[in-house]
Homo-oligomer: A and B are copies of this chain.
Amino acid sequence: MPDPSPHEFDLALNQVPRTGRPAVRDLHLAEEWRIGGGLNGGFLLAQIGQALRSTLTADQHPDPLALSAYYLSASAAGPASVETTVLRRGRSMSTAQASLMQADDAGRPVERIRALATYGDLVGLPDDVRTSASPPQLPPPQDCLGAELVPPDFRASAPFLDRFELRLDPATAGWAKGEPSGQGEIRGWFRLPDGREPDPLLLLLAVDALPPVTFDLGMFGWAPTLELTVHVRAAPAPGWLLVRHATRNFAGGLLEEDAEVWDSGGRLVAQSRQLARAPRPR
């Protein structure tokens, strides 16, 4: 039977339960999702989210509410697996653990990410919304800046950047022409290029897909994630997502990076915070 979904993101999230060990799902981390020396961290979150979704859907808890990932080693393109363990099955929520594994050069198992997550049913939540936060004001996508921001030599090493459309607010993209604002903020529109609409799994990608907020501080090195926790608060409406990254506490060689994701209906659908290692001064 042909795969009912032709969308690239869904194909990339294809996972196969291992024969005799259904808690282990085998998958392939495609080169297309590589950025620099490793796979994008948000894409890896989505893989973990997918495995947990498969595990917990039977419990009527298909959606991530909270997911915390601790990055142990850099993932590489190639075979991988996610093993899940359910810690608690509740009436309205379940909590589970997941490990993303690969093999090292000698074939020994090596853990890439350890995660904890609480899943539930976003559609079944009460419909009260008293959010006091308001979405950032950006020019419309057609007036924002796209792929032309990325230096060609960097783009060649980052096929990940071709997996989605990103339109950055010019007010937070000065770093691309050597004029970082110093505010520690990057805002932009995000969507998949092939018409695949957002869902909770895509939000896991969206919270870690933008350029690191350190670019806006004038630091262009790599800022590896140590830990990332995301709260998914609603199933997103179709259309563009609005993503805002910001940092307020750059100190001691570490920084926090907060992400907010707003859907086309103006709802704050996801919030994340990561602790990252600051880029080394050059």
- Is A229 an interface residue, CB under 8 A from the partner? yes
Residue of B95, B229, B254 near A114 (CB, 8 A) is B95
Say yes or no: is A206 at the interface (Cβ < 8 Å to chain B). Answer: no
Contact of A227 among B73, B114, B229, B247 (CB under 8 A): B229
* Interface flag for A133 (CB, 8 Å): yes
Contacts of A127 in B (CB 8 A): 252
Q: How far is the CA of A231 from the CA of B126 in the complex (A)?
A: 31
Smallest Cβ distance from A209 to chain B, in angstroms?
20
Residue on B nearest A99 in the bound complex, by CB? B87
| Contact between A227 and B118, CB atoms less than 8 A apart | yes
Binary interface profile of A, 269-280, with partner B (CB < 8 Å = 1, else 0)? 001010100000
Asked if A234 lies at the interface with its beta carbon under 8 angstroms from chain B, I say yes
CA–CA, A41 to B31, complex, Å?
Answer: 42
User: Known contacts being A249-B133, A252-B125, is A116 close to B271, with CB within 8 Å?
Assistant: no
Number of interface residues of A (CB under 8 A): 50
**Do B66 and A88 touch across chains, with their CB atoms under 8 A apart?**
no
Which residues of chain B come closer than 8 Å to A273, judged between CB atoms?
229, 231, 271, 273
Instruction: Determine which of B68, B130, B253, B275 lies in contact with A250 in the assembled complex, contact meaning CB atoms within 8 Å.
Output: B130
Residue of A217, A233, A252, A256 with highest tally of chain B CB at under 10 A: A252
Q: Does A144 sit within 8 A of B, measured CB to CB?
A: no
Does the CB pair B252–A122 fall under 8 Å?
A: yes
0/1 interface trace, chain A 104-141, chain B, CB 8 Å (1 if under): 00000001001111100010011111111100000000
Which residue from B95, B131, B253 sits with its C-beta under 8 Å from A70?
A: B95
List residues of chain B with CB within 8 A of the CB of A81.
none
- A73: nearest chain-B partner, CB-CB: B88
Q: Report if A248 contacts B (CB, 8 A).
A: yes
- In the bound complex, do residue B68 and residue A130 qualify as a contact, i.e. CB atoms below 8 Å apart? no
A1 interfacial by beta-carbon distance below 8 Å: no
> Is A116 a contact partner of B118 (Cβ separation < 8 A)?
no
Pull 12 A–B residue pairs with CB atoms less than 8 Å apart, ordered by A.
Answer: A68-B68, A70-B118, A72-B87, A115-B116, A116-B116, A122-B252, A130-B250, A132-B183, A229-B273, A231-B256, A233-B252, A234-B252
